[in-house]
Structure 1
């Protein structure tokens, strides 16, 4: 009878109240969501590693030591470190939640278990890394790096008298976005005591800083993409009218498409961030979508530096080989190779090559000098 009484007493001490059951249910949903987006995050991270490895091999085989390559390599290194820390911190957070919430035997009460989860060092470290790398909306070091690269791509191919004006405007937008990012980080660390996952009202100082900074970043990217798109349109028009093969039109089109994709990603992240308010139910569809875009979008944004390295190193730059005949040449004469190089140099240039290759010539050779002038002006 004594053993039976001790057993019943032990069972009664482990009985969960309705409040405890609700806490367990909420904790289970939190773990389920975190496992889902951590798996997706590491899937994208594996693709990112492949892209980085390919970009690194293109630098060292053959070795390239130009100032441009060093700059791109430094952006690749910074992005790689931030993304690696972001993915590892999320994985460590998941491990910490499972250990403290379900495995640790030192804490008996359910309420105490779940309250300790959000106050561990791993959780606070993950919050710090997320804030620095890719904070709310389109704010963070990763997005500022992508903005700088987008502006760089646009300015070096914008060969018009307004180049300095648009360069100053792009610098102003990017610098203003970064300036608003600094006080956001300070306020984020001061509000670290806010319960995990709770959204801020859109009228709070942190939300306003994030929204304005994100809008400036989007404006800079759209402006840079528009400049690239206009240059691509000019190249396509020149290619159509002169019947000259211009590979730069295809490359510029791809750069425009990538810029549009990045702009759509930024707009989606900002829209989801603004849509999630304190009254939004936790772990709802909207809340989950916002979390997925926050993490997945950061990794996709970090893919820009290695992608740009591949574009530059594998000839997928804004460089063209323009084939023309000398004045008075007869039909069927081999065409002289003229290279139009705007591969992210400070100023675009047209340089002559010594290679002579046989290509199908146009029906007449007249107008080639005018076409070459158009290429120079473009």
Structure 2
């Protein structure tokens, strides 16, 4: 039988440290050819009875044998046609997220869980950033500059501070004053001072890590203002439905190394913010490395006092949901309080 894993279950059963470990394993397995995952598939289509919105699908598949789990993440959302310039805005008519994550047992192909997506999606993106910080960032970093105050900003802030507990100060900026002023109370990090600031320039000044976690399609800061010794992290990426440039060309060009999650996704999702610079010769392809290569030790990239290193968290992958979902499932599978889906409801006739 399959169980239902809610957002509350994710909060209860998956810590950021556990998720960082799961991401480290799955990206390492992917680099070795052991884990399997394909670039995400996205598309938009008109909503026939709603002129204010359009349907948006975001599908991921993948499997991680180290966790004995495969996954299909069926992303199902509505987008507002009237989004603010430079933004992509979800707009569900009933304030719900209908995305479903299905976990399959690799030993018998049976579905073992149906998961809510909202909480897990944030933590697995943050945890992947945590892996990059763990592999790349200096051991003495102490200050983080953060753009954004939403779900991804909260998760990535926690992950970065988990990977580098030496961080004692976070400066956060949002163009919306009430969001940046509310942020310190939304991210409880003992021993870390979180300070709202009024401008991008204040975010960048003197920090060791610059992290942009927004839904902006235009650059959130000027790459000319970066200083040697800083690590840059971003999350917004172009795909076949929308072009996004959360980080400017200057940041790409000035970076000694650019770390991504998956090169195939750069190509299939048409992430032109990177592809165009490689084609023009402004960025050399050999400067771009995959995160999994750092997890296996095949490649080493380190933040130093003299370079700028850029981690472009360029895509979500199905294997992330499989690995993190397995951690949660294994904690919950024996609980009597689980909501269940009887096996006979799901098992169709075998092929003749």
Assess same fold via TM > 0.5.
no
Structure with the bigger percentage of strand: 2
Task: Kindly indicate which of the two structures has a greater share of residues assigned to helix.
Answer: 1
**Category of TM-score, reference length = shorter chain:** under 0.3
- Computing the radius of gyration from Cα coordinates, the structure with the larger value is 1
